[in-house]
Structure formats: structure tokens, C-alpha cells
């Protein structure tokens, strides 16, 4: 019994490690064409900002795209087909949690907006403002 659990765990761990390697490989294969496409599209006036975008950003995005595309395959190969297989169940009070999350998001956005209006949008990012409380000069 215990050896079966260990084998099953190692099998799932091997599949996850294989998934990580596949994500990096697919991301590395997708990055150059995405970069070339971005550079070609930078000739369009609305997409001119793509000319200044470096290859590293395209590579990072291609890793994210490949991880998203390969995720269903690894989930099925591990044996998870439904949310119940992961120990998740339907939330009976989903509407209450949704409203609480929306209210919290509105409150945080309002607080940050208030701070930005009071101090100005650029003042907190300047060198002078961020170090003014450390300085001993009056």
C-alpha cells in the first residue's frame, strides 16, 4: 500500500517536472516568431510601442502562453478531471463572497485614488519624496 502511494506520487511529480520542461521548450519555440511578429507590427502607427519592447518580454509572455496551453494536459495526465477530485466543492454562499470581494476592491481603489489625489500622482515615486523621512536635514 505504502509503495503504491510513493510510486503514484513520484509518477505525478515526474509528470509535473515534464510539464515544466515542456513549458520552457514551447515558450522558447514561440518567443522568436512572436518577437518577429511584434517587430513587423510595430510599423503600424497604433502599435509603434512594440518597436521598443525587448526580446525578454516576448519570452516571458510566450512562457505564460505555453503554460496556459499545456495546463489541461498535465491536469488530465495526473488524473484530475473534476473539481471534486481536488477536494473543491461548490460554494453555497458565492453571491455573498462576490459582493464582499467587489466592495473590498472598490474600497482599496478609492483609498489609493484618495492618496494619489492628495499627494499627486508622481510625488510618491520621486527620489525626494521616498527619502524625505530618512533624511535628517530640516
DSSP assignment of 18-78: HHHHHHHHHHHHHHHHHHHHHHHHTTSGGGGGGGG--HHHHHHHHHHHHHHHHHHHHHHHH
pLDDT given for residue 131 in this prediction? 46
Question: pLDDT, tens digit, for every residue of 49-103?
Answer: 888 889 999 999 999 999 999 998 888 887 777 767 677 788 899 999 999 999 9
Q: Which three cell numbers stand for residue 109?
A: 481603489
Alpha-carbon distances, residue 84 vs 68, 80, 87 (angstroms): 21, 9, 5
CB 59 within 8 A of CB 23: no
Higher pLDDT: 82 or 40? It is 40
pLDDT given for residue 80 in this prediction? 74
Higher pLDDT: 47 or 3? It is 47
pTM over 0.85: no
pLDDT given for residue 87 in this prediction? 76
Mean of pLDDT over the chain = 82
Higher pLDDT: 132 or 92? It is 92
**Percent of the chain topping pLDDT 90:** 42
Reading phi first (left if > 0) and then psi (alpha if -120 to 50, else beta), residue 87 is in left
**Percent of the chain topping pLDDT 70:** 78
pLDDT given for residue 126 in this prediction? 54
Amino acid at each position: 500500500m505504502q509503495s503504491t502511494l510513493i510510486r503514484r506520487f513520484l509518477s505525478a511529480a515526474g509528470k509535473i517536472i515534464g510539464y515544466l520542461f515542456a513549458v520552457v521548450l514551447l515558450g522558447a519555440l514561440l518567443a522568436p516568431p512572436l518577437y518577429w511578429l511584434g517587430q513587423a507590427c510595430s510599423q503600424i502607427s497604433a502599435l509603434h510601442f512594440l518597436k521598443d519592447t525587448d526580446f525578454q518580454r516576448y519570452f516571458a509572455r510566450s512562457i505564460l502562453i505555453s503554460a496556459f496551453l499545456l495546463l489541461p494536459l498535465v491536469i488530465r495526465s495526473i488524473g484530475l478531471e473534476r473539481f471534486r477530485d481536488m477536494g473543491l466543492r461548490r460554494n453555497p454562499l458565492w453571491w455573498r463572497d462576490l459582493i464582499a470581494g467587489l466592495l473590498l476592491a472598490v474600497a482599496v481603489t478609492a483609498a489609493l485614488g484618495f492618496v494619489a489625489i492628495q499627494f499627486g500622482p508622481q510625488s510618491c515615486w520621486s527620489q525626494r519624496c521616498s527619502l524625505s523621512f530618512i533624511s535628517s536635514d530640516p
